Chain A
Amino acid sequence: MEEKKAAWKELPEGDVLEGGSSLKFKTGNWRTDRPVHIPEKCIHCFICWIACPDGAVKVNAETGKFEEFNYDYCKGCGICAHECPKDAIKMVNEQEVDKK
């Protein structure tokens, strides 16, 4: 469905946006490769969580465990996979994912 865009009279004056507007902008569809987590190899060091430029790695502070990738915002840059010291993240082409 096409996004309904505001007409000039409806917009707040002077290029003003409410904070947190990036939440509404799901950048996950920019992705060509997606990170896939390999639980057997993961040591829950959280380096992926630190390195992710989009905050798209979800970890659980209580359990101290990796939880999941947020594919709504993950752009597939691969930094997490590159930084992972245990090769516990592999990048898989989206077309491969679609096939499954």
Chain B
Amino acid sequence: MKAAKTGNEAFAEAMRQINPDVVAAYPITPATEVVQIFSQFVADGLVKTEFVAVESEHSAMSACIGASAAGARAMTGTSSQGLALMWEMLYIAGGLRLPIVMAVVNRALSSPINIHCDHSDSIGARDSGWIQLFSENVQEAYDNIIQAVRIAEHPDVNLPIMATTDGFILSHCLETLDMLSDEDVRSFVGDIPERSTLVKSLREGKPITLGALDLQDYYFEHKRQSAEGMFNAMKVIPEIGKEFAKTFGREYGFFEAYKLADADAAILVMGSTSGTAKDVVDTMRAEGKKVGLVKLRVYRPFPAQMLAQALSGIKALGIMDRAEGMSAVSGPVYPEICAALYDLPGKKPVVQDYIYGLGGRDVSLNDIRYIFDEVLKSAQTGKKAYTLKYVGVRE
């Protein structure tokens, strides 16, 4: 069914169709609408969800952790400072292996205070044990959050997951998307799988302790378990993507390779900018320039080997980083791609980093064209011209 929805509306509609047991949330621009619209669905009796209006994002995540630990399907939504306030609880959700699903609307972190898009909030949470999906457009945001439920709750994974959109660019812009029927979503997500420890506790009356003190002799083993969930997610994410495609016709993997096969130069980018960049690829292809694009959908787990394979034939690669990693080297995505390419046999692509779009700074076709021209130059010389350039900042 075709519908016109903003990113926030699409998240809220998907949540209505998923019909989770518990949603605990606190409003924050630009993610407020996700849970605000959803709370209306609760008030209208369209879902059976227990909606917990909490006093902060820290409490929102804490309530989701409690609900999820008791076997409920728990969801929430947030952005920027809200995600930052959840920080310690994010790690607890990851460590306790709780398949909480969160809609994150990417927004810059203070200071200076700013409500517009960059990826510093989500990327800051990359090591917390959450799976992270980025979306190019409203359709992908909708599809991602529906798949997110299945990925997170897969018995081999059991990890929390965030599906993200870009603040305002996707969250507040109306796009047409193909929505699934309520029945189709319900049957795709199914019921949350039972956790054996909980069944034992609740049905057999044997109390359990969650999150007990775990010192030198067991902490490491539990972290290793969480890591195994991430390793297993490498198998589960494409499986769920294929199952989604079989039912609904749109397939999702770790990344999309766009006109990459014979490309000399390519850009790797996450989120909404990939749509703009595809347009530039089309224009430059029409001019006979061999350029292509990688749109990274899954940032955690990081599909290093597959990316290296897909990029092995490229002469030069530009990374578009929508966050300042403050490493005095580059943005955060660049070193991970370099590390992935390091193991390639033979000649490796030249890689240059471009930090762009911080605090919602507009990224135009010309900006991306500039990056492609720079990368093409390096493809021709075969030499790295520099590590990092800032694109769109006033010099």
Q: Which residues of A contact B228 (CB under 8 A)?
A: 8
Residues of A near B95 (CB, < 8 A) are 14-15
The interface centre, meaning the residue of A6, A7, A8, A15 with most chain B CB atoms within 10 A of its CB, is A15
- Chain B residues whose C-beta falls within 8 Å of the C-beta of A5 in the assembled complex: 217-218
> What 0/1 readout, one digit per residue, does chain B (192-213) give for beta carbons within 8 Å of chain A?
0000010000000011111110
Kindly state the separation between the CA atoms of A95 and B98 in the bound complex, as whole angstroms.
49
Is the beta-carbon distance between B209 and A14 smaller than 8 angstroms? no
Rounded to whole angstroms, the CA-CA distance of A47 and B218 in the bound complex is: 38
What's the minimum C-beta distance from B194 to chain A, rounded to whole angstroms?
A: 13
Q: B-facing mask of A27-64, CB < 8 A → 1, else 0? A: 00000000000000000000000000000000000000
Q: What distance in Å separates the Cβ of B198 from its nearest Cβ neighbour in chain A?
A: 9
The reply on B158 being an interface residue by CB < 8 A is yes
The reply to whether B211 and A15 form a contact with Cβ atoms under 8 Å apart is yes
Q: Shortest distance in angstroms between B70's beta carbon and chain A's nearest beta carbon?
A: 12
Q: Is the CB of A16 within 8 A of B197?
A: yes
Which residue of B207, B211, B220, B225 has the most chain A CB atoms within 10 A of its CB atom?
B225
Q: How large is the interface on A (under 10, 10 to 19, 20 to 34, 35 or more residues)?
A: 10 to 19
Residues of A within 8 Å of B207, CB to CB, are: 18-20
- Enumerate chain B residues within 8 angstroms of A7, measured Cβ to Cβ: 221
* Chain A positions within 8 Å of B217 at CB level: 5
Interface string of B235-266 (1 = CB under 8 A from A): 00000000000000000000000000000000
Residue among A8, A14, A19 making CB contact with B96, cutoff 8 Å: A14
Q: Is B322 an interface residue (CB 8 A)?
A: no
| CB–CB B208/A19 < 8 A | yes
Q: What residue in chain B is nearest A19 (Cβ atoms)?
A: B207
Query: CA of A44 to CA of B264 in the docked complex: distance in angstroms?
Result: 89
Q: Does B361 contact A (CB under 8 A)?
A: no
**Chain B minimum-CB-distance residue to A5:** B217
The reply to whether A15 and B212 form a contact with Cβ atoms under 8 Å apart is yes
A17 close to B (CB within 8 Å): yes
Option from A8, A13, A17 in Cβ contact (under 8 Å) with B209 = A17
**Given the complex, which residues of B lie within 8 Å of A19, measured CB to CB?**
206-209
20 A-B Cβ contacts within 8 A? A5-B217, A6-B221, A8-B220, A8-B222, A8-B224, A11-B221, A11-B222, A12-B197, A14-B97, A15-B95, A15-B210, A15-B211, A15-B214, A15-B222, A17-B209, A17-B212, A19-B206, A20-B207, A21-B209, A21-B212
Other A-B pairs beyond A13-B97, A19-B208, 17, CB < 8 Å? A5-B218, A7-B221, A8-B228, A13-B158, A13-B225, A14-B158, A14-B210, A14-B222, A14-B225, A15-B210, A16-B209, A16-B210, A17-B208, A17-B209, A17-B212, A18-B207, A19-B209
